[in-house]
Amino acid sequence: MAAANRDAFWAPSSKVNPDLARERESATFDVRELTHIIDGSPDRTKRRKELENLLYSEPVFRDVGRLSMERDEIYEQGVLKSIKLFEWSRKYKWDDDDFELASRLANHDISMSLQHAMFIPAIERLASDTQKAKWLPRALHYEMIGTYAQTELGHGTNLMELETTATFDPERNEFIMNSPTVTSMKWWPGALGKSSNTAIVLAQLIVKGKNHGLHPFLVPLRSMEDHTPLPGISVGDIGPKMALNCIDNGFLIMKNVRIPRENMFMKNAEVTRDGRFISRGVDKANYATMVLVRVKITRWAFESLSDGATTAVRYSVVRRQSSLKPGERELQVLDYQSQQYKVLPALAASYAFLMTNRSLHRLYDSVHADIMAGNTKLLAELHCQSSALKAYMSEVVVQLLELCRQACGGHGYLASSGIGLLCASSAPLVTVEGENSVLYQQAARYLMKQVAKAVVGDPVASGFQYLLTQSSSDRPDIRIQNLADCGNLDTLLQVYQRMAFSVVTGAARKLQMAIESGVEQHVAWNNNMVSLIQAARFYALHGIAKEAGYFLATPTLTPDQFELVRAAELQAMAKVRHDAVPLVDAFDLHDICLHSALGCYDGNVYERLYALAQTSSLNKTQVHPAYYKHIRGLVKDGQKQLRQQSKL
């Protein structure tokens, strides 16, 4: 597609699909006001619009051609986008919020996203003041382009078994970095393969033959002059992935790579010139960057889901298919109850996730400020909440996005729908920054400790008061007698607390019984892992309907009450359906950001599908070269055989 046509492609059309226009006219609330709430304030909306104008004035951010690009081109485009954002960040002195917003507007489709997502935050959190003074300006001015290299080919989850070593050489006042085995090579770090010249490498610290555990080190990878790998460094890309192919996730093998002693991150621990190891702060302080990124993932979960919900809702009101009564006009597919059941949970969860992320962010900011001041009292609660919410929200996003894709029928399978790519690029959220079942277990571990406290009457953390209130014998009955009761938030909270109490204490009981019967603690944990993971998950009405078994078996609800909840859920869906389009419009996603022929604001779905099909590389010529190479021979042979047969 020529550049001029690309611009035309994204230009909003004055001709809006009439079904979509009607939905907007009947909105029961002010969409702009809701947009301000979603953005945070009218000023934040204004700022977003300013950044949209800046970004989308650049051809590289408007491109629709990526659907037919080769890997090299995808990578190069991702690099170009990174460079643009970095240049603007430097020129306009963007703060973290601005950078995050700009990155979101670029769909995080940038090769060197780790620079701001992990590399700079890790320096801020793990480096001593002297190191920060030295490294931060180099990172913020993009002389250092960096990555966070923790995972290895052999181990991602179990950090204790990482094999990379950093051995202190007191004579030369240096660390010697080594990847001693095949499985010890670093594998997966984003931007490691081709883009980064520096890495934060997590390695086992060896001093005087003693292993002091995992610590972070700043390792130069490539020459600052010509970007060639430095002596002892083998580095490269790990190959194409299901999505996110603009990112050069890489491998790294180090052979006797020497770095100055001062390159060990020294906020939390230090090796002195004479080889003494000094540990400061809490044991897990070096995991701080992971906690931050888990919080960020809950934001990305909201963003991906709101993209998917917008596309699925808009398309579902534009698409008409079949009628309920023969001869009647075909129905907008969103009017089928089953379609509402596929699409509206994604819409509802988008809003719930936005608010949850905000609350988690507030907790993060407050605990982070405490930690910087030396107070780590709430670290365990933050670790529990960030682990459980990262796991739960990413799990739900992956499931709901796939439903949104299915809700778009066959067109949802086209790359031009945008939704397949969204599913593929969101899929790793369940794995990165801690695989979900592993993170649920971290939360379960904290929960079990809270149960132990509740049992002996000790105070429990603020979010776990239900362990005390729900255990008392005079707890009130659940009052669900009619549909209106199902809409009472206090009642719903009570339902969840009761179910959570039963599941959490049930898991604790099973664990305790297994241990008392003589089973070793870690075996008992493994034998009860599914119950423990369930205990760490949390669930409104849809959650109750989906997890019926737990609410009926615990027993939190009677079968009659459960039927009422189900009826109330369907009633709520019909109500939300009326405002579904205004509710997705309030996300105010620019068409370029959404990148979907099915989800565009004007609803001209069919025209855009056809226009995007024209960009297929197969359509460059009327007759494809494959015809001359292969198909022509087949057809000619067939013709020849037919002629011979007709002669017989």
Ligand X SMILES: CCC/C=C/C(=O)SCCNC(=O)CCNC(=O)[C@H](O)C(C)(C)COP(=O)([O-])OP(=O)([O-])OC[C@H]1O[C@@H](n2cnc3c(N)ncnc32)[C@H](O)[C@@H]1OP(=O)([O-])[O-]
Q: Residue 432, interface with ligand X (CB under 6 A)?
A: yes
Q: Residue 492, interface with ligand X (CB under 6 A)?
A: no
Residue 265 carries which DSSP code? -
Pull the structure tokens for residue 570.
């369907």
What would the x/- binding string for ligand FAD be over residues 401 to 440, using CB under 6 A? ---------------------------x--xxxxx-xx--
Q: What is the largest CA-CA distance in the chain?
A: 99
Q: Residue 31, interface with ligand FAD (CB under 6 A)?
A: no
The distance of closest approach from Cβ of residue 460 to ligand X in the complex, given in angstroms and rounded to an integer, is 15
**Which position's Cβ is nearest ligand FAD?**
156
Instruction: Confirm or deny that 151 is annotated as ligand binding.
Output: yes
Q: Which CB, 195 or 561, lies closer to ligand FAD? A: 195
Q: Residue 364, interface with ligand X (CB under 6 A)?
A: no
Rg, C-alpha atoms of the chain: 28
Q: Residue 68, interface with ligand FAD (CB under 6 A)?
A: no
| Binding window for ligand FAD (CB under 6 A); candidates: 52-60, 149-157, 303-311, 543-551 | 149-157
Q: What is the full DSSP assignment across 29-94?
A: S-HHHHHHHHHSSHHHHHHHHHHHHHHTTSHHHH--GGGG--HHHHHHHHHHHHHHHHHHHHHHT-
Q: Which CB, 371 or 605, lies closer to ligand X? A: 371
Q: Residue 160, interface with ligand X (CB under 6 A)?
A: yes
- Annotated catalytic residue 433: yes
Q: Residue 440, interface with ligand X (CB under 6 A)?
A: no
Q: Do β-strands 257-260 and 174-178 pair in parallel, antiparallel, or remain unpaired?
A: antiparallel
Burial grade of 459 (CB within 10 A; 0-12, 13-18, 19 or more): exposed
Residue 379 binding partner per list ligand FAD, ligand X, none, with a CB distance cut-off of 5 to 8 Å that depends on partner kind: ligand X
Q: Which CB, 181 or 337, lies closer to ligand FAD? A: 181
Residue 117 binding partner per list ligand X, ligand FAD, none, with a CB distance cut-off of 5 to 8 Å that depends on partner kind: ligand X
Residues in the chain: 648
- The site that binds ligand X (CB under 6 A) totals a number of residues, namely 22
HSE (side-chain half, CA atoms, 13 Å) at 40: 11
Helix and strand numbers (H, E) in the chain are: 28, 11
Q: Residue 157, interface with ligand X (CB under 6 A)?
A: yes
Contacts of ligand X in 130-149 (CB under 6 A): 148
Catalytic entry in 23, 124, 433, 569: 433
CA distance 152 to 589: 37
The distance of closest approach from Cβ of residue 174 to ligand FAD in the complex, given in angstroms and rounded to an integer, is 24
Burial grade of 531 (CB within 10 A; 0-12, 13-18, 19 or more): middle
Residue 38 binding partner per list ligand FAD, ligand X, none, with a CB distance cut-off of 5 to 8 Å that depends on partner kind: none
Instruction: Confirm or deny that 190 is annotated as ligand binding.
Output: yes
HSE (side-chain half, CA atoms, 13 Å) at 344: 26
Residue 219 carries which DSSP code? E
Give the Å distances, CA to CA, from 633 to 636, 637, 638. Answer: 5, 6, 8
Q: Taking a C-beta distance cutoff of 8 angstroms, is the pair 605, 408 a contact?
A: no
Q: Residue 188, interface with ligand FAD (CB under 6 A)?
A: yes
CA distance 55 to 84: 9
Binding site for ligand X (CB under 6 A): 117, 148, 150-151, 157-160, 190, 284, 287, 290-291, 293, 379, 383, 432-434, 438, 442, 445
Positions touching ligand FAD (CB under 6 A) are: 114, 148-151, 155-157, 188-190, 244, 249, 428, 431-435, 437-438
Residue numbers in the known binding site for FAD are 151, 190
Catalytic residue IDs? 433
